[in-house]
Amino acid sequence: MTRFMFSLAWPFVLLLASSLASAAIVEHTFNVEDFTIQRLCLPQVITAVNGTLPGPTINAREGDTVIIHVFNKSPYNLTLHWHGIIQFLTPWSDGPEYVTQCPIPSGGSYTYQFNLTGQEGTLWWHAHSSFLRATVHGALIIKPRLGRSYPFPKVYQEVPILLGEWWNANVEEVERNATDTGNPPEESNASTINGLPSDLYNCSQDQTYKVKVKQGKTYLLRIINAALNEQHFFKIANHSFTVVAMDAIYTEHYNTDVVVLAPGQTVDVLLKTNQVVDSYYMVFTPYRSSNVGTSNITTRGVVVYDGASQTKAPIMPIMPDAHDTPTAHKFYTNVTGLTTGPHWVPVPRKVDEHMFITFGIGLEQCINPGPGRCVVLNSRLSANMNNESFVLPKGRGFSLLEAFYKNISGVYTKDFPNQPPFEFNYTDPSLANVNPSEPLAFAPKSTKVKTLKFNSTVEIVLQNTAILGTENHPIHIHGFNFHVLAQGFGNYNATRDEPKFNFVNPQMRNTISVPVGGWAVVRFQANNPGIWLVHCHLETHLPWGLAMAFEVENGPTLGTTVPPPPANLPKC
């Protein structure tokens, strides 16, 4: 019997040794500092990494260990978040300020270290401190291990495409002004592709991103929405795409001529250069699910075929209307998961925790009223989940994770509710004109978390509300990928909507765009101990309180508990 067990174990040891041998350490030094850059006719001081916009691309393979030494030479305290990295047993490297760490002070440093086992595809990294994400961000690309291939045909070239937003202002001051006045933040002046605003803007004829391609080839476009506040449609004139992954999880191949991305989301597509030799515009134009007036921040790059005329204007695609919700919803809901692909996880069927979370924008009492302050119904804008408006524990001496690890009281409470305190017609259009005196409009400020048993399965109904107006909200869950079982419009109804659940091949994501005036149902297994933020990835909404956090209890063994914090963990 001993000999038989040894014979079974030996191939596993060889496989493990082979996997370890194919893994590598990917190490970078990030210098975060201010420098001056010229955009839209003006010199502007921005905060960025290693003097580039976007910042450095991290290229790694599944199984690698990533080590990033961050030296904060900027005048601002900040953290970095590795968006979509599961951070299993490395919660101290997740990054959201005051959640898993305190900010890296100006002049300070911190080393992030995490493993990429079980993840492949396109992710990204960004500052998780106020509006600094606008210029402190970059791509994080995870390729298969050496000797393994993609679950799609071989491509000629891979092209990262990062959509960003640009302000002719200091973004810290934009965020600070909104916080001080209680008003919406100043709108961005432009969109950018890989840091360039395009020929649609003044002084930008030579600041248009170009991709040079060969006819008859297949390219992998790794598209990242790094914008702060805008969802976008993406098209290339006369071309179509095959979606092969979203949020670094492989999908069934889905053919489309338009891609839709919310802030935080990534989509990998195959582009076949099968058109006549010419130049074609690639265009990002906003998808606006609300009727709130915003500036036109369309941007475009150019796909240039070898041999194309240098004098002929590129061909422009016909873009969807900015309020084309049917096109957006079709894209968001029609893509399914690749069950035969690497790292696929079947849907857990037994649910231990059922949660119903309403969320949206609301109001709070005006502080220091005066000219230019609290212009929305004489109140400050606020936001909430289940009528709790989340407050980061700034000034309490510890991050949430450090308080969890050291069992320190007074930093947060464990009573985030499983459902809203009262039921109402969540998507009633009349709520857009809610009276500030109504209880629906206001939510108390708190720092509440929901405690989950280790390895428990959690199902969440995410329900949009129409208070002050409906909007499509991108909700990001740190520390986990989740299955998207169903999405729809109006109020969720279990009798009507549960039969629609996809348990076979649902898409998996880390950021879900909950339909405007609608709902989504997600499910995940809480097998990652620590504190994990859940929030709207529209940058305006986190300071307003559209967030909560999960406290996932430690597991029963050493390999399922939060490890000690690093020695150089920043102090509050």
- Mean pLDDT value of segment 535-563: 89
User: Confidence class of residue 294 from pLDDT cuts 50, 70 and 90?
Assistant: low
User: Confidence class of residue 130 from pLDDT cuts 50, 70 and 90?
Assistant: confident
Spatial separation of the C-alpha atoms in residues 14 and 520, rounded to whole Å: 43
Q: Evaluate if residue 249 carries a pLDDT over 50.
A: yes
For 78, 79, 411, 562, the CA distances from 399, given in Å and listed in that order, are 14, 12, 8, 14
Q: Where do we find the tokens 């348990």?
A: 503
Q: Of the given ranges (74-83, 153-162, 537-546, 560-569), which has the lowest mean pLDDT?
A: 537-546
Q: Of the given ranges (267-271, 364-368, 540-544), which has the lowest mean pLDDT?
A: 540-544
Q: Of the given ranges (172-181, 202-211, 505-514), which has the lowest mean pLDDT?
A: 172-181
Q: Which residues of 370-403 are buried (b: 16+ CB within 10 A; e: fewer)?
A: eeeebeebebbbbbbbbbbbbbbbeebebbbbbb
Here the tokens at position 61 are: 């393979």
Spatial separation of the C-alpha atoms in residues 257 and 235, rounded to whole Å: 6
The total of other beta-carbon atoms located within 10 Å of residue 406's CB is 10
- Mean pLDDT value of segment 236-248: 98
Least Cα distance to 492 among 419, 429, 427, 417 occurs for 427
Spatial separation of the C-alpha atoms in residues 192 and 297, rounded to whole Å: 9
- Mean pLDDT value of segment 245-256: 98
User: Confidence class of residue 247 from pLDDT cuts 50, 70 and 90?
Assistant: very high
User: Strand, coil or helix: what is 387?
Assistant: coil
User: Strand, coil or helix: what is 500?
Assistant: helix
Cα first-last separation, the chain: 56
User: Confidence class of residue 291 from pLDDT cuts 50, 70 and 90?
Assistant: low
Under 8 Å between Cβ of 224 and 124: yes
What's CA 462's distance to the chain center, in Å? 16
Cis-peptide, bond into residue 263, ω within 30° of zero: no
User: Confidence class of residue 471 from pLDDT cuts 50, 70 and 90?
Assistant: confident
**Beta 58-61 vs 109-115: how paired, if at all?**
unpaired
Q: Of the given ranges (219-223, 421-425, 495-499), which has the lowest mean pLDDT?
A: 421-425
Spatial separation of the C-alpha atoms in residues 355 and 420, rounded to whole Å: 10
The pLDDT score that the predictor gives to residue 542 is 65
Under 8 Å between Cβ of 191 and 167: no
Q: Where do we find the tokens 């880390």?
A: 510
The pLDDT score that the predictor gives to residue 151 is 97
The secondary element (H helix, E strand) that includes residue 109 is strand 109-115
Here the tokens at position 358 are: 């309403």
Q: Where do we find the tokens 């620590």?
A: 530
**What is the reported pTM?**
0.94
User: Strand, coil or helix: what is 353?
Assistant: strand
The pLDDT score that the predictor gives to residue 472 is 85
CA angle 537, 29, 197 (to 5 degrees): 50
User: Confidence class of residue 183 from pLDDT cuts 50, 70 and 90?
Assistant: confident
The pLDDT score that the predictor gives to residue 538 is 82
Torsion angle defined by CA atoms of residues 445, 447, 450 and 451, in that order, rounded to the nearest 10 degrees:
-160
Phi and psi of 409, rounded to 5°?
Answer: -90, 165
Spatial separation of the C-alpha atoms in residues 255 and 236, rounded to whole Å: 14
User: Confidence class of residue 193 from pLDDT cuts 50, 70 and 90?
Assistant: very high
Under 8 Å between Cβ of 60 and 26: yes
Q: What is the pLDDT of residues 92-120, one digit of tens each?
A: 999 999 999 999 999 999 999 999 999 99
User: Confidence class of residue 2 from pLDDT cuts 50, 70 and 90?
Assistant: very low
Least Cα distance to 135 among 106, 103, 169 occurs for 169
Which structural domains are found in the chain, ordered by start? 22-146 (2.60.40.420), 149-341 (2.60.40.420), 353-560 (2.60.40.420)
Mean pLDDT of the chain: 92
User: Confidence class of residue 132 from pLDDT cuts 50, 70 and 90?
Assistant: very high
Q: Evaluate if residue 24 carries a pLDDT over 80.
A: yes
Q: What is the pLDDT of residues 312-356, one digit of tens each?
A: 999 999 999 999 999 999 999 999 999 999 999 999 999 999 999
What's CA 466's distance to the chain center, in Å? 23
Q: Of the given ranges (59-63, 468-472, 487-491), which has the lowest mean pLDDT?
A: 468-472
**Percentage of the chain exceeding pLDDT 70:** 94
Please tell me what DSSP assigns to residue 346: P
